[in-house]
Amino acid sequence: MKLCVVILGSILLLAVAAFCGFAFMATFEPTDNVTQFMAFRIGYGVIGLGCVVGIGFLIAKALRK
């Protein structure tokens, strides 16, 4: 049962990380409002990296047991 939770959690976090990756790349489109897009770059980067770290913790915890 715990393996199913790890797999589902990893898939959900991977989906969020993929969305954040594409959104991060989309913020590099040319615009006049650079400060607003910089805030989005930082936000998407932090959330995406947090999801990747969460996936790593889930997998590491599942492999220990």
9-33 pLDDT per residue, tens:
999 999 999 999 999 999 998 888 8
Domain count, the chain: 1
CA–CA gap between residue 57 and residue 9 (Å, rounded): 11
Cβ atoms of residues 15 and 51 within 8 Å: no
Q: Is 26 among the domain residues? A: no
CA–CA gap between residue 32 and residue 21 (Å, rounded): 22
Is 1 or 60 the better-scoring residue by pLDDT? 60
> 48 pLDDT band (50/70/90 cuts)?
very high
Q: How many other C-beta atoms are found inside a 10 Å radius of the C-beta of residue 58? A: 17
> 34 pLDDT band (50/70/90 cuts)?
confident
Q: Is 56 among the domain residues? A: yes
Q: Is 53 among the domain residues? A: yes
pTM, to two decimals: 0.86
Q: Is 6 among the domain residues? A: no
What percentage of residues in the chain have a pLDDT greater than 90?
A: 68
Q: Is 63 among the domain residues? A: yes
